[in-house]
Structure 1
Amino acid sequence: MVKNAENIIVGISIGDLNGIGSEVVLKTFEDARMLELCTPVIFANVKALSLVKKTFESTSLLHGIDRLDQVISGKINVLNVWREGVDLNFGVNDDIVGKYAIKSFVAATKALKEGLIDVLVTAPINKYNIQSEEFKFPGHTDYLDQELEGNALMLMVQDNLRVGLLTDHIPVNEVAKQLSETLIIQKIETIRKSLIQDFGINKPKIAVLGLNPHAGDNGVIGKEDEQIIKPTIKKIFDKGTLVYGPFAADGFFGSNQYEKYDAVIASYHDQGLIPFKTLSFGKGVNYTAGLNKIRTSPDHGTAYEIAGKNKADYNSFKEAVYLAIDIFNSRNEYEEISRNPMKIKEKPEEKNNR
């Protein structure tokens, strides 16, 4: 079913209430034009968010609801996931507040699975205070990978810059042990499919960064690039996927090589995210590619140091909302064309296929 823009329901998990998440959420939807793009549903508690509103003198009008069938378009809906009061202390790492962050996230994920919301945008959590006997995941992505169909992959997005990761939240000394032909094939295929169905790029070009300095210098600086990454890339390329590399990571971004590709795959977290965040100017979005549902988030954390001070930049969160909506529409169009291939129209050469 094709939905009108304002009827796309964007579920929002509130994240750590002592961080900047609630501030960037409220600031995003203070602009009434956002309510013409979608219908937001914040999974939290309307009394708690009303207190946050007062702190920032927000003009957002909150509509408290107890069930998702009470959602009203044109309003900022707040689903009461809990009833009891929560003591908020901006900038403080609090295990109790962490539990409420997970209550919000788990409830929002359940609604996403059941199709009661169309997309999910997650505000930042603190990876330390969310841990419990019930929730033993490093973060959002790992839980979503368990709960939703597919293979989750962290894909950082800002306009035409897209950076994916072979490995994400693991120690650096574990990265080389994790690399394998199977992992590389899986991740490249996940990105390829996402570029096609989520971003509308029919013949995506993908670059892969080497693990070691200078991509191993033909085995002089580590063997992984020569023995694992390079032959796997050739194997994938020979089957028709436009994948290239491994490239030396140090000069790849500085020389603007990334502009020639529709996505770049880094071997580990900081190799990809440091250049991405440098280039994205606070407007980057974390997209969980490879799943049967859509989830995005801003590219920053709880930022305790500025929480409660009315200093948070909400642009990354707003971009996360925009991207979730764009991908929702792109997937619907892709599915419609897949069902009715005769509806494909002649299009000019894609701007992304350089």
Structure 2
Amino acid sequence: MNYRKKKIKVGFTTGDINGIGIEIFLKVCCKKKILDFFTPILFGSQKLCFYYKKILNMEINNIREIKNFKEVVDYKINVFNIWKEDIKFESIKINHPESGKYPILSLKKAVKALKEGKIDVLVTAPVNKKSMNFKNFSFFGHTEYLQNVLEGESLMFMIHDILKIALVTNHLPLKKVSSELNIKKIIKSIKILHQSLIIDFSIEKPKIAVLGCNPHSSDNGLIGNEENTKIKPAIDSLFQKQGWLIFGPYPSDSFFGNQNYRNFDAVLAMYHDQGLIPFKTLTFNQGVNFTAGLSHIRTSPDHGVAYDIAKKGIANENSFEEAIFNAIKIFKNRKEYMKFSLSRLS
């Protein structure tokens, strides 16, 4: 069998072209022997790569433009040119309406290739949500767009060896969180998380902790009632009817303060910062954002565009590298799960 056919093809988006996305992409792909493990395909332009290569003074000799997927070559940085116009990237300013055009094009082309099986997994570089919305991009971020174009129900899932945290609600103002929480939504989130732990992470019988919503997990209803009316009923439903190992709701401050998270395979938080603050505090520059529950695999680093350090050559690429290898690992785990499931049926 041809070796290239066995190697996993990883697709990459450019992210915000004024951010650190291309820098960390090039840094990872230039590491010694790293391309033994995957074949990179960037959806952007060769000129953009050369622009960053020049301003960062990087020694890169294996950037290769391709016009179709038959031209993909192993051990090269394959760049699928998706822009026909001649772009002066240095003239596109941060937060200008034009700055959102190219990351949107990159994302749409990459996802199309993912759906068509031209690439095996997708790693997205960070974007500026405000710039994306300048171009009438009707989705708040990657997760919302992927939910719309791929099959399945998405769940934002932050992953690391020591801590995995999923979110019931994603990018919502805090004042809207309570009204968005309900038993059905919490149960659905737990089910997606439970399935992902089994299929994507090969955990046979997952143990999941669910956080409360209010301070002290409401102190038995003294500080809010979401725990008693929404969260606890959802937990009880799955614990009693399915026999799953679902526990909580736990007060988030003491849960992380006494390292109780180490006793669980994953944690379900009710809202963005409740999950992301402890996750990034404990795993920053090593954690990965994974969109669980969908038909295809997408990961990204756990940080943003980092305009303050962009184009200086000092961006840390560790989280981006972790995103690549976690995507590959999940891809292989899904293959093994499917093989195992088919063998049981035969």
1:287 maps to what in 2?
A: 290
**Is the contact between residue 207 and residue 265 of structure 1 (CA under 8 Å) also seen in structure 2?**
yes
- Quote the Cα distance in structure 1 between the aligned partners of 2:302 and 2:75: 27
Partner secondary structure for residue 40 of structure 1: strand
How do 1:69-218 and structure 2 match up within 5 A?
A: 69-89=70-90, 92-132=94-134, 135-218=137-220
1:46 maps to 46
Counterpart of 1:252 in structure 2 is 255
Q: Which moved more, 1:190-199 or 1:4-13?
A: 4-13
Amino acid at match of 2:310: A
Q: Deviations over 1:181-201 (max 9, x none)?
A: 110111000000000000000
Larger mean Cα displacement after TM superposition, 334-343 or 192-201: 334-343
Specify whether residues 232 and 79 from structure 1 end up closer, same or farther in structure 2 by C-alpha distance, changes over 3 A only.
Answer: same
Secondary structure of residue in 2 paired with 1:9: strand
Equivalents in 1 of 2:184, 2:134: separation in Å? 32
Q: Counterpart of 1:348?
A: none
RMSD between superposed Cα atoms in Å? 1.8
Q: Residue deviations 1:61-108, cap 9 Å, x none?
A: 201011122111111100001122333348833321211000000000
In structure 2, runs of 5+ residues without a counterpart are none
For 1:260 and 1:183, the matched residues in 2 are separated by 25
CA contact (8 A) 1:19 1:307 kept: yes
User: How far apart are the structure 2 equivalents of 1:5 and 1:287?
Assistant: 25
In the alignment, residue 253 of structure 2 is paired with which amino acid? D
SS at match of 1:117: coil
State how far apart, in whole Å, the 2-side matches of 1:59 and 1:43 are: 21
CA distance in 2, matches of 1:133, 1:281: 31
Out of 294, 304, 309, the position equivalent to 1:301 is 304
Provide the rounded CA distance (Å) in 2 between the counterparts of 1:69 and 1:269.
41
Decide whether the 8 Å contact of 2:284 with 2:302 is kept in 1.
Answer: no
One-letter identity of the residue aligned with 1:81? I
The AA in structure 1 aligned to 2:293 is G
Q: Which runs of 4+ in 1 moved over 3 A?
A: 1-6
- TM-score w.r.t. the length of structure 1 is 0.93
Deviating more after overlay: 194-203 vs 132-141: 132-141
Residue of structure 1 in register with 2:341 after alignment: 338
Gaps of 5+ in 1: 344-354
Contact kept, 8 Å, 2:101 with 2:135, in 1: the verdict is: no
Say whether residues 1:313 and 2:316 are aligned partners.
yes
Give the aligned partner of residue 350 of structure 1: none
SS at structure 2 position matched to 1:128: helix
User: Which residue of the partner structure matches residue 269 of structure 1?
Assistant: 272
- Letter aligned with residue 109 of structure 2: A
Give the whole-Å Cα distance in 1 for the aligned partners of 2:215 and 2:3.
48
Q: Residue 156 of structure 1: SS of its match in structure 2? A: strand
In 2, Cα distance between the equivalents of 1:48 and 1:159? 34
Query: How many correspondences in the alignment?
Result: 343
- Any idea what SS the aligned residue of 1:195 has? helix
Task: Check if 1:19 corresponds to 2:19.
Answer: yes
Specify the SS of the correspondent of 1:306: coil
Paired residues of 1:6 and 1:36 also in contact (CA < 8 A): no
8 Å Cα contact 2:4/2:74 also seen in 1 = no
Find the counterpart in structure 1 of residue 66 from structure 2: 65
Greater mean alpha carbon deviation, residues 78-87 or residues 155-164: 78-87
**Which residue identity lines up with residue 274 of structure 2 in the other structure?**
Q
Residues in 2 aligned to 1:155 and 1:167: alpha-carbon distance in whole angstroms:
11
- Tell me, in whole angstroms, the C-alpha distance in 1 between the residues paired with 2:254 and 2:93: 37
Equivalent-residue separation in structure 2 for 1:59 and 1:106 (angstroms): 30
Partner of 2:10: 10
CA distance in 2, matches of 1:9, 1:260: 35
Deviates more, 1:129-138 or 1:185-194: 129-138
Given residue 256 of structure 2, which amino acid in structure 1 is its aligned partner?
F
Query: Distance in 1 between the 2:210 and 2:163 partners?
Result: 14
Aligned-pair distance for 1:35?
0.7
**C-alpha distance in 2, partners of 1:35/1:280?**
25
SS of corresponding position for 1:115: coil
Query: Which of 308, 326, 329 is residue 329 of structure 2 equivalent to?
Result: 326
8 Å CA contact retained: 1:43, 1:108: yes
Q: Counterpart amino acid of 1:265?
A: L
Letter paired with 1:136: S
Q: Which amino acid aligns with 1:166?
A: V
Match for residue 30 of structure 1? 30
Q: With structure 2 as the length reference, what TM-score do the two structures score?
A: 0.95
For 2:288 and 2:5, the matched residues in 1 are separated by: 21
Question: For 2:193 and 2:340, how far apart are their aligned partners in 1?
Answer: 20
CA distance in 2, matches of 1:213, 1:55: 48
